[in-house]
A and B are shown apart, each in its own frame.
Chain A
Amino acid sequence: MENAVPMAGVMPEPKMIEVEGVGTRYYDSGAGEVVVFIYGGNFGAQDSASSAQTWDQTLPALAARFRTIAFDKLGQGFTDNPLRDEDYTMAAVVRHAVAFIKALSLPPVHLVGHSRGGFTAARIALEYPALVRSLTVINSGTLMPTVSTNEPTLARPPAPPLTRESARWIYEHYSFNPAIVTDAWIETVFAVMSQPKYRESVRKMWQEQLATRLFYPQLALQKRDTLLWINDGRLQRPTLIVWGYNDRTAPVAGGFELFRMIAAHQRRTELHIINQSGHFPFREHPAQFNALLARFVASCAAPEVLS
């Protein structure tokens, strides 16, 4: 199994689409069952900045078998910011993701969500089951019912916010093997952070205090609904849970709890824990992750092999 620093795959050329007035950047390649990837984080974060490029170990590998789509979420990556202040919420992020899937006229898709994106993906499976064929959740501290320790783990970076040095330190502390945080990764993060629109989202979240006035309180309420709905058996799609064993921000016990909640109602629920992996198992161990995901998607697409 690979332990070397993974090489970045070649992502397809990005495309743009307008989704309810929001310019949205995405990657789309391959043919067959549609797999839609939703990365983590949120707009206006000062220390890290995710984008669809985070799937560059995954998308090219799976595009040989499936149509693979990764988009930049509302206000993140190279997608426009929310149009209104009241849309600085996870609910708006979910609405944008749903509108994106509808705008591309996709058939029911296999959703793959990491971290905060795992919450978004689960929320879509709960609220819009007709859009979803299967759900994959990766190290989602946002979705798991136990305590997320990202704040203490990532406290006191050694450099000011919105710098390469700070971002590198953050991603290294997310990871088991800090060497997976490559220069190319950090340059992409820095390119996202350097956009005027991104600086504007940082200003909205922190100077205008939308983070504490709106985003976090709304997320807490939405998480409450989400966990209640899962316990009620409303999550009704095959669910693959993949967890990096050594994640200091979303400890593995949370993956077990999430499994128990979903598995109580959904037969096709499975948990896979990958050793020597932090928060990004699909980047630290792409061969393991890609084999798990490809076989899961194939099995969900072929009902004759369900038994």
Chain B
Amino acid sequence: MSALQERSVAVQGRQVRVLSAGPARERAVLLLQGGMAGVAPYCGGPHMWAPDLERWLAGQSLFVVDLPGHGGFTLAEGAPSLDLIGGQVAALMEALGPARFDVVGHDHGALVALWLGLNHPRLLASVSLAASPLAAPTGDSVGNLTLAGLPWPRASALSQAWALERISYSHHHIDRALLESCVTAADSQVYRHAAAIMGEDGYERSYLPSVRATKSRLYELCRGEGFPVPAQVIWAANDPLTPPERGFALYEVLAAGQPATRFTLVNRAGHLLFREQPEAFYRALMAFHEALA
């Protein structure tokens, strides 16, 4: 992450940490992390994407931000919901400078990307939706036991390593630097505050219903006028949390009304496909963005 420049941007009266690289342009790539404080068993943040991120996305105008509730982005007051978090991200995007973004969302970040498509399409050049169990149609799905026996305490390196290995195809990308970054991120005031809100009952009573409502709106839109911006669904062939069929179901929803829709499947990768197969993942992103230019 060393070549990324860190700065602080004022958003809705608070300072938000933003990492960036590359030239300033009217169209930029924005990476939105996965995981959710108090819910995901690993602590996400910009450290998750991939070592040498600026190398994989060389030449791009690139922004990497925390999801609200993580690192340098405090969760706003109020009942936690996709509308609250999405609104915070949209306000940050307005403050960043570029007119339009190619938003790349992983997991919960992909949900935020879809929310942005529904509510602020003019901010978007495209969305790329990566390995997101909740963003895909879930139907009456079978329970997933991948993370059923989480060790305690959650924020320890032991627990983080256990969870990261469980959601991966291979453990080889999990190194000391990643675990230290996860533990450090879990120790922040911002994260503990959000984790407490989500952990009590905010996630189940407030956030999940808002996800459901957003997806209902998405399905209605895709049955009608269609998703308003180009969309890429990029899934891993070996994700223990969400199989390729789920990603393809999301693709089919979006493809019905959006001509520029791509489905990409990456081999020998799990939930963190951008760490396990960074070359294939970032190359697919760049090819999609290039064809839209």
Contact = CB atoms under 8 A, between A and B. Distances in A.
Nearest to B260: A1
A268 B244 CA distance: 17
Interface stretch (B7-15, B81-89, B158-166, B251-259): B251-259
Contacts of A267: 267-268
14 contacts: A245-B263, A256-B248, A269-B267, A270-B267, A270-B284, A273-B251, A273-B264, A275-B262, A276-B255, A291-B286, A291-B287, A295-B283, A296-B283, A299-B279
B270 to A, nearest CB: 14
B292 interface: yes
Contacts of A268: 267, 280
A287 B283 contact: no
Given A1-B230, A291-B290, A274 B266 contact: no
Contacts of B280: 268, 270
B237 interface: yes
B121 to A, nearest CB: 16
B61 interface: no
Interface of A: 1, 3, 245, 256, 259, 263, 266-276, 285, 287-288, 290-292, 295-296, 299, 305-307
A44 B255 CA distance: 37
Nearest to A298: B283
Contacts of B263: 245, 271-273
B19 interface: no
B90 interface: no
B287 A295 contact: yes
B189 to A, nearest CB: 36
Nearest to A177: B259
A274 B291 CA distance: 12
B261 interface: yes
A291 B291 contact: yes
B208 interface: no
A285 B280 CA distance: 21
Contacts, number: 77
Nearest to A286: B291
Interface of B: 230, 237, 244, 248, 251, 255, 258-268, 278-280, 283-284, 286-288, 290-292
Contacts of B244: 256
A276 B259 contact: yes
A189 B267 CA distance: 38
B191 to A, nearest CB: 30
B259 A3 contact: yes
A256 B263 CA distance: 11
A243 B284 CA distance: 15
B125 to A, nearest CB: 11
Contacts of B259: 1, 3, 275-276
A290 B290 CA distance: 10
B260 A306 contact: no
Contacts of B237: 259, 263
| 10 residue pairs, one from A and one from B, having the closest CB atoms | A1-B260, A273-B263, A275-B261, A271-B265, A291-B287, A288-B291, A263-B267, A291-B290, A287-B291, A275-B255
Give the residue among B248, B261, B267 with the most A Cβ atoms within 10 A. Answer: B267
Nearest to A273: B263
Given A256-B244, A288-B291, A295-B287, A272 B264 contact: yes
A76 B268 CA distance: 39
Nearest to B289: A291
Given A1-B260, A275-B258, A288-B291, A259 B283 contact: no
A266 B267 CA distance: 9
Given A270-B280, A271-B264, A306-B279, A292 B287 contact: yes
Contacts of A276: 255, 259
Contacts of A271: 263-265
Contacts of B266: 270
Contacts of A245: 255, 263
Nearest to B266: A270
A288 B291 CA distance: 5
Nearest to B277: A267
A287 B284 CA distance: 14
Contacts of A292: 284, 287
A305 B55 CA distance: 10
Contacts of A295: 283, 286-287, 290
Contacts of A290: 291
Contacts of A275: 255, 258-262
